[in-house]
Amino acid sequence: MTDSSGVAFVDGRFCPVEEARIPVLDLAVTKGDSTYDVVHVWQGRFFRLDDHLDRFEASMKALRLDPGLDRRRIEDVLHECVSRAGLRDAYVSMTCTRGRQTVPGSRDLRTTRNGFYAYAVPFVWIATPERQERGVSLWISSRPRIAPESVDPAVKNYHWLDIQMAQFEAYDHGAELVVLRDMAGGITEGAGYNVFAYVDDRWLTPGSGVLRGITRQTVLELLADDRVEEGHLSEEALLRAEEVLVTSTAGGVMPVTEVNGRPVGSGLPGPRTRRLRESYWARHADERWTTPVRYR
């Protein structure tokens, strides 16, 4: 079976992604109780697969979830989803759900059986390469990000109603992407991406209240010889930054050329952002950062 629209692994079996289903009684559906991770495949190679599996394991541990498969088996499943789909460039997602009650009618979380599913679909771009050439527009939402003390953003989750509603606010203002502030007004992150701003002669990215993005980590490493800081990014600093970019597994290093309707710098992707974007994609051919997909 080769299904280029995507292949899923659910309930212990592989199937075309369009046929994959999870039970309506899974607490992932009724309570948003799950964690997930997404890795990508570029030109037949996983990018930083071990880092994604490490983060997935840490997220499951933090939420007291057990997928019922060990790391090697999960890795095999991811390879097989991509291989069966025959995809060279893919978005590969893995999720562990709280699952269903084993005791009918009970609400005791200790008697649930956790679930696991994964799928590979064609590469997903938050902003297409053509769009990235011009840069994307960003809106700073008036809706604060859910407090990290309530839902830890470092544990990758689908608890996204703050982000989703903020994204609608961005559309209402004619912007493509959104970023949310924390309760103290500091910039955090957006719908699947971290944010970097080049301001006051250094790159600055929020140091807390965000997912530790693997793309963010890659950019920090690429900037190791430059001035870069993880810390407080204020709205004011973001609005006067010379360059702004967002980072995600789903699209890489994406230039932002407009914030709240105002041009960033010249209004075109800046030279530092362009260089970073090139170095980021160059790493995808480097064996130190990639794992070849085991195609059958």
Ligand X SMILES: Cc1ncc(COP(=O)(O)O)c(C=O)c1O
Give the interface with ligand X as residue ranges (CB under 6 A).
38, 189, 192-194, 211, 213-216, 247-249
Q: Are 187 and 199 in contact (CB under 8 A)?
A: no
Which residue matches tokens 């699952």? Answer: 99
**Residue 68 Rama label (left phi>0; alpha psi -120 to 50; beta):** left
CB of 71 to ligand X, least distance (A): 18
CB of 249 to ligand X, least distance (A): 3
CB of 60 to ligand X, least distance (A): 16
Query: d(Cα 118, Cα 84) in Å, to the nearest integer?
Result: 13
Quick one: 112 or 247, whose CB is closer to ligand X? 247
Helical residues (DSSP H) of 86-135, grouped into ranges: 129-134
CB of 281 to ligand X, least distance (A): 14
Quick one: 80 or 189, whose CB is closer to ligand X? 189
| H or E segment and range at residue 59 | helix 49-62
CB of 104 to ligand X, least distance (A): 34
Token pair of 98 as six digits: 């709280």
Quick one: 217 or 234, whose CB is closer to ligand X? 217
Q: Could you give the angle at which helices 214-222 and 49-62 cross, rounded to 10 degrees?
A: 130
The candidate with the shortest Cα–Cα distance to 241, out of 228, 222, 257, 223, is 257
Quick one: 135 or 252, whose CB is closer to ligand X? 252
Quick one: 223 or 265, whose CB is closer to ligand X? 223
C-alpha distance across the termini of the chain, in Å = 11
Quick one: 22 or 179, whose CB is closer to ligand X? 179
Quick one: 15 or 89, whose CB is closer to ligand X? 89
CB of 111 to ligand X, least distance (A): 30
Residue nearest ligand X, CB atom distance = 213
Q: Could you give the angle at which helices 271-282 and 214-222 cross, rounded to 10 degrees?
A: 110
CB of 123 to ligand X, least distance (A): 13
Quick one: 206 or 265, whose CB is closer to ligand X? 206
| H or E segment and range at residue 81 | helix 71-85
Query: d(Cα 138, Cα 250) in Å, to the nearest integer?
Result: 17
SS3 call for 61: helix
Token pair of 234 as six digits: 């204020």
Q: Are 141 and 170 in contact (CB under 8 A)?
A: yes
Q: What is the DSSP secondary structure assignment for residue 135, as one 8-state letter? A: -
CB of 124 to ligand X, least distance (A): 10
